[in-house]
Structure 1
Amino acid sequence: MSQVLHTPPPTPVPPADDPAALAARYGLSVSGARPTLREYVQQLWARRHFITAFATAKLTAQYSQAKLGQVWQVMNPLLNAAVYYFIFGVLLGSKKGVPDYIPFLVTGVFIWTFTQSSIMAGTRAISGNLGLVRALHFPRAALPVSFALQQLQQLLFSMVALVVILLCFGVPVSLSWLLAVPVLVLQFTFNAGVAMVMARMGAKTPDIAQLMPFILRTWMYVSGVMWSLDKVLGKDDLPRWVMVALESNPAAVYIDLMRYALIDSFHAHQLPPHVWAVAIGWAVVAGVGGFIYFWKAEETYGRG
């Protein structure tokens, strides 16, 4: 009599839970997930002391290997101003018809250097600090903001030399010097916003850092750093769109506002129309827009 062995039917295996459902069941969250915009602002504000300390430490370490140390914070823009004076002021004659040309030039160089250095540092804020980004959890916007703050601190050191130059060339102290404070606040907001835009772009495409010096150099030449923007805009042979572009150039706007604040021979009629509205507009657009643009890619920084 044969014995037939019956194999029991296989027990059905329940389908695996969805990873999102499993995470929700055990109270897990995605590591590095982008917070809401409001939470992101709160996180950034909570780390304001870190941002300030990081900026100060970077500024202190910047010239730590040089024998003259922090003196280079003032010497670098002064040497640039001396070169520009010789080339543009003497050889090309840009100083003709510009009262107080040396204070005019030095002010332009110092204010332009603030914007230029902030943007260049912002371009490498993420790509140049991947170790820090991957090791610690913090709002990544703290890096480009801290680099912009570092450049502001460096500018404040340079402003001491600028004041000495103004006094040596007979520029009197006046209440208009107080206008330098809102100008610097607006320019810092603009610089930080552009630095955040460039930080996101530089994190994805590090090669952009090699292109930026050429873009910034071109921007400098059209910003009236070494020549009077008012004299160029007074020409009737310029196309209308060129005049509008030159008047609306944010770098030129902040430079001219600082010249108006500090140099008594630089008068209000030399400023572009609605200059304060333009300066505030650029600060808001760049600051808010750059912050949101950077925040949207928060999850991607330091990966891959």
Structure 2
Amino acid sequence: MDPADESASATRKAELACVVLAHDQPDQLHRLLAALDPLPVFLHVDARTPDPVAAAMTRDLPERVRLLPRVATAWATFGAVQAELAGYRAAVAETSATHVALLSGSDYPLLSTADLRAVLTPLIGRSITYVAPLPIPQWGMSGGLGRLRYYHWAWRRHVIRLPIPRRLPRGLSLAGGPTQKVLAREHADAVVRAVDRRPELVRFWRRAWAPDETFVATLLSTPSLVPGYADHHLHELAWLIDWRQANIKGPPWLTMEHLPFLQEGRTVPAGSLPKLFARKFHSTLSAELLDAVDALRQEPLRTTPA
């Protein structure tokens, strides 16, 4: 970002658009959409969702919610990436948002929409992503490179790997990280443009394992595809997720016992980034906690001395 752009950014206020990928829980989804009011939302409903459930999820949506074309977003397949990219494309084309957040239907904001904008305003032109170069030690013996080096298929939540290595694409800075991210408008636009210019990358990643954790992360990390990202992002996760238990494959549903955990995420040293969202919430198991979170969202952010 050149000095003129930085000066212009200093006088602007952030605007946030949200891409929400959902596949069930109509009540929870509608509660999330209400909590995001008045932000524009680009909603994707898994094509595998039964018609009655999908109808309940999309019934009586406010005008600020746009439906994305439905694709199948099966576990660990490229469908989730397709939906993510469609959301970025629509958000950049149809809004003036300075940032685009990628959420699931089981996520929920920890801040009011006014506070979300206030937190993001000093970060105009910057993304918030927890992306690291491959290999990542926590991702097994290959550090995640095996996810790309071999052909993969998912079948009933099982991995099928063809044990014949393939050539990795050249000229890329391979990277990975959590799917949750807040992209600066410029970076979301650059990702979409890179996909349009390099369709062979989509073909390659269709047979990668869990491509939603490596595809966009790699595009962002490759300067020739997303220029400026390296110098204009925060290496942080803007989501509060409970990974405190050992040897779990996924985070637990949040309940009232997690309220102190969520309160802690909203209490940060002055000048630091609070957690913007949390996951994962269930329409019934988390109902009491969601009521408490809605009350918290009306309170000022808590800060401690830096």
Give TM-score, length-normalised by structure 2: 0.29
More strand by share: 2
Q: What's the TM-score, normalizing by structure 1?
A: 0.30
Question: Of the two structures, which has the highest relative contact order with CA contacts closer than 8 Å and spacing of 6 or more?
Answer: 1
